[in-house]
Structure 1
Amino acid sequence: MSKDDDNGEGEPERRRRRSGPVTAGGDARSAKQFRTRVKTARGRKYSSKLWLERQLNDPYVARAKQDGYRSRAAYKLIELDDKFGLIKPGMRVADLGSAPGGWTQVALKRGAAHVAGIDLLEVEPITGAIQLELDFTEEGAEDTLKDALGGPADLVISDLAPWTTGHKSTDHLRIVALVEAAAYFALDVLKPGGGFVAKVFQGGATGELLDLLKTRFEKVRHYKPPASRSESAETFLIATGFRPEA
């Protein structure tokens, strides 16, 4: 389980703003004319060639480099925050599946006072954040993350994604399990009025889980930000206005 910079969109071997849509500019003819193409080198799989070509021609990738974000995925959270007003000054935020750190960067730049992240992969240090190199689903990991938060969270953001096997049923079960784990963690650590954001895929959140969230949050909805590639099956679950159990 790990977050890549765009799960379901990243290089197969690794698997792993102003807001508003970012466009490459020009008409379709110009875009085709100036598109960077990558030759298939010896030893490079065709799928890797396509991934590299897509990265080179992705305006969000270029913008991330210009703005100092570690991945294009940062713009997904930026666009979600612009639409739903998720991040407020002084917040304590838990970032699940935090590698390579783009969402942590956004949360801090938008006013969060403290961010605690967790991922299987190592994350280079980010000032103002604690990053844990742990499997979120392993026993004791949630308690370690709670300690790193230092108190109840105002916002839980999850870009968790499983290592895929290629077996559809198995991968579906892993996706559902991660969404549920993130949601139950949020229910456990959020302050009243807090929010929860999680990446989900087609069929990634069960009706039972959604019904539970609707009883514990004022609003629950789905949204696919412009930065999420159109061919990706991902969308985002946004739950706001957390209500603790009486």
Structure 2
Amino acid sequence: MSQSKKWKTSITRRDKSVRVKTARGRKLSSTRWLQRQLNDPYVQEANRKGYRSRAAFKIIEIDDRFQFLKPGQKVVDLGCAPGGWTQVAAERIEAEKNPDGHVIGIDLQEVEDIPGATLLVGDFMENDAPDRLKEVIGGSVDIVLSDMAAAASGHPQTDHLRITGLVEAAFYFAIEILKPNGWFVAKVLAGGTDNDLLNTMKKSFTTVRHAKPPASRKDSSETYVIASGFRGKNAYSDE
């Protein structure tokens, strides 16, 4: 197996852990979450490098393995807040120094400016969203990214349906704006995507894979679908 097919990460844990005392008014679960954050090497490295979330390392590790982000590309990041994936995409396509490179982040809430990226406030699920996006970016795009997750309900079946719905919406948005041979990378839950959606993806892309990067916590059920070689917007309707 070539190096490009292996997970690569340089993040290591600190020797000493930080213990958080339970403060008055703070729930034990909140204290445990805070302690995990303070001792998370990805959180520490994100703070050191100026990334807005530890999730930045998920896209770094996925791209290190599959190598889809390249200088001069046009990239869309759906549900981009707080902006970690958008930051990495802008860096890797060299958006600030390559005139062909362009990253657009879309979210329902405002996101603080990111060098080399255009940030839009809006709902990508609106009917005219693909056309408006192509007007902003000047045509079709090379890559659509989605690290979106629905708010957890505590009910596994409900959570699976919610995130599958988001992935499906992101997929149908992607096939409206992707160039031929484009990529679609999105968060799903363990077990992958719904079978019908997965079969549709396989009609639309030459290769569809699932992967869980090291930055994804071991106790998390999240994984990622990586679809490459987009066949064209009408391929999904073929029998």
State the TM-score, normalizing by the size of structure 1: 0.84
* 1:24-50 CA-partner distances (Å, limit 9, x unpaired): 16xxxxx4xx21110111111111111
Query: Structure 2 CA distance, aligned partners of 1:49 and 1:134?
Result: 34
Displacement of 1:21? 4.8
2:223 match: 235
Kept after mapping to 1: 8 A contact 2:183/2:227: yes
Instruction: Identify if the C-alpha distance between structure 1 residues 145 and 170 changes in structure 2 by more than 3 Å, giving closer, same or farther.
Output: farther
Displacement of 1:142? 4.2
Query: Structure 1 CA distance, aligned partners of 2:153 and 2:128?
Result: 26
* 1:123-148 CA-partner distances (Å, limit 9, x unpaired): 10112211122233345444443433
Larger RCO: Structure 1 or Structure 2 (Cα < 8 Å, ≥ 6 residues apart)?
1
> Do residues 213 (structure 1) and 201 (structure 2) align?
yes
Gap runs ≥5 in structure 1:
1-18, 26-30
Kept after mapping to 2: 8 A contact 1:179/1:204: no
Q: Choose the corresponding residue for 1:118, options 101, 106, 116.
A: 106
Q: Choose the corresponding residue for 1:49, options 31, 50, 70.
A: 31
> Do residues 92 (structure 1) and 80 (structure 2) align?
no
Give the 3-state SS of the residue equivalent to 1:219 in structure 2. strand
Question: Match of 1:197, as an amino acid?
Answer: V
Query: Structure 1 CA distance, aligned partners of 2:159 and 2:135?
Result: 31
Give the 3-state SS of the residue equivalent to 2:26 in structure 1. coil
Kept after mapping to 2: 8 A contact 1:219/1:240: yes
Displacement of 1:213? 1.1
Query: Structure 2 CA distance, aligned partners of 1:110 and 1:36?
Result: 33
Q: State the Cα RMSD in Å.
A: 2.0
* 1:32-91 CA-partner distances (Å, limit 9, x unpaired): xx2111011111111111111011101111111111211111110011111001101111
Gap runs ≥5 in structure 2:
1-7, 96-100
Displacement of 1:203? 4.6
- 5 Å matches for 1:59-208? 59-111=41-93, 112=95, 113-203=101-191, 205-208=193-196
Question: Match of 1:47, as an amino acid?
Answer: S
> Do residues 39 (structure 1) and 36 (structure 2) align?
no
